[in-house]
């Protein structure tokens, strides 16, 4: 990913930086960094921590307190939020030099053909199943890291929201901080219509049904994070309840047979719409009202309609059979999203077609139903 600042053409004492990823303020002279869209609204202490790689936070706060760092020639505190066009004065600071790295191998484009919408503010991908949205937990490259590698010239690329690793479909990426902020604001105020398609076990009866359930996260004995529906979450008056949580500032936990529970619960809400009943399966569309972790998977499993292929909350014996018949992934797809454009306000309708492997399995079930 490219550097998120550019030098101003000031005096000879001004640092000469490039847009190369390793560009940093000079260690032997004062640098003047010009804030662009990538760092707009970021706190100045976090901005300095980003550009002064290897410098302890304690030293960053010291140069802020001493006034050696100036924004537009004025002192600022650590909480100051940078504005587009701000000029940040950074004193000479010697940082640890990174060891020379071998030449990186050529990047294979994995996401170029998955773009379903793009302009200067944002882009939307049809995320493939099996690809995490970000690296971690043994995953070296997620969608966002891969996208940054494929687009080294991009100044700013950030995830707007997440999808589970095994879920395919519409995934929004912001290309400007102002777009990211606007999209997050729209999501907080429920100004986004996000639809999913899924094939579940069982015969769903209701044409339209609203499901509201309390969810609680926990960690299994093996260390895996899970979510479950709770009928009676811990109350404020109980030890480790929400009041205690707020008072202590520590996430209170309790041990139970299934693992370690986080006390705070979250209400989850979804509208489900029946599309087709296909023998022992049902094809559903879901409209999210809230966006909790594993929301659709946990709700449907709790109701007795687990999503086919779900390896966390599904019917494991059935999944094994389905794998032999061609369904080798979870049948959950983020099919479309309607939202106002973050900068222009124009309505956007982002559509990700059902992946071929899911469409093929669905067609097989329709053919079986027709035969019977």
Find tokens 């999503």 and name the residue.
Answer: 307
Residue 63 CA to residue 66 CA, distance in Å, equals 5
- CA-to-CA dists, residue 58 to 45, 49, 61, angstroms: 10, 10, 5
Q: Which residues lie across from 8 on neighbouring strands? A: none
Side-chain-side CA neighbours of residue 213 (13 Å) = 24
Which residues have a Cβ under 8 Å from the Cβ of 30 and sit 6 or more positions away? 13, 14, 15, 89, 90, 91, 92
Cα–Cα distance, 32 to 3 (Å, whole number): 14
Active site residue 164: yes
Burial label, 160 (beta-carbon count in 10 A; 0-12, 13-18, 19+): buried
15, 31 Cβ separation under 8 angstroms: yes
80 to each of 41, 54, 74, 251, 266, how far by Cα in Å?
9, 22, 11, 29, 32
Catalytic residue chosen out of the listed positions 36, 45, 86, 164: 164
> Which residues, 6 or more positions from 258, have their beta carbon under 8 angstroms from its beta carbon?
218, 220, 226, 228
Q: Give the span between the Cα atoms of 184 and 1, in whole angstroms.
A: 22
Nearest CA-CA partner of 67 in 91, 100, 31? 91
DSSP codes, 227-290: EEE-SSPPPTTSTT-HHHHHHH-S--EEEETTEEEES--EEEEEEEEEEEEETTEEEEEEEESS
The length of the chain is 372
What DSSP character marks residue 139?
A: B
Measured CA distances, 228 to 265, 298, 334 (Å): 10, 6, 22
Which residues are identified as catalytic?
Answer: 164
């Amino acid at each position: 990913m490219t550097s998120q600042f550019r030098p101003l053409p000031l005096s000879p004492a001004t640092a000469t930086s490039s847009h190369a990823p390793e560009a940093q303020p000079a260690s032997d002279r004062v640098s003047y960094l010009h804030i662009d869209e990538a760092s707009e609204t970021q706190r100045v202490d976090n901005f300095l921590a980003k550009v002064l790689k290897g410098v302890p936070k304690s030293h960053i706060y010291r140069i802020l307190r001493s006034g050696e760092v100036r924004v537009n020639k004025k002192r600022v505190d650590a909480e100051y939020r940078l504005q587009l066009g701000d000029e940040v004065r950074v004193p000479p600071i010697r940082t640890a030099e990174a060891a020379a790295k071998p030449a990186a191998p050529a990047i294979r484009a994995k996401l170029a053909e998955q773009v379903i919408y793009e302009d200067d503010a944002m882009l939307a991908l049809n995320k493939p199943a099996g690809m995490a949205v970000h690296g971690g937990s043994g995953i070296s490259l997620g969608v966002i890291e891969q996208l940054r590698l494929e687009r080294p010239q991009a100044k700013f690329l950030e995830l707007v929201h997440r999808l589970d690793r095994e879920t395919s479909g519409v995934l929004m990426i912001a290309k400007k901080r102002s777009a990211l902020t606007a999209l997050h604001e729209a999501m907080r105020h429920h100004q986004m219509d996000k639809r999913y398609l899924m094939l579940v076990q069982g015969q769903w009866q209701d044409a339209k049904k609203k499901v509201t359930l309390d969810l609680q996260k926990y960690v299994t004995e093996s260390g895996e994070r899970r979510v479950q529906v709770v009928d009676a979450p811990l109350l404020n008056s109980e030890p480790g309840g929400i009041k205690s949580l707020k008072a202590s500032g520590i996430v209170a936990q309790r041990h139970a047979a299934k693992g370690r529970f986080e006390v705070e619960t979250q209400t989850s809400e979804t509208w489900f719409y029946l599309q087709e009943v296909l023998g022992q399966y049902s094809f559903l569309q879901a409209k999210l009202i809230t966006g909790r972790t594993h929301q659709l998977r946990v709700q449907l499993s709790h109701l007795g309609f687990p999503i086919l292929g779900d390896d966390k909350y599904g019917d494991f014996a059935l999944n094994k059979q389905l794998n032999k018949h061609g369904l080798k992934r979870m049948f959950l797809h983020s099919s479309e999203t309607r939202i106002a454009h973050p900068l222009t306000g124009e309505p956007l309708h982002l559509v990700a077609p059902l992946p071929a492997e899911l469409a093929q399995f669905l067609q097989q079930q329709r053919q079986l139903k027709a035969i019977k």
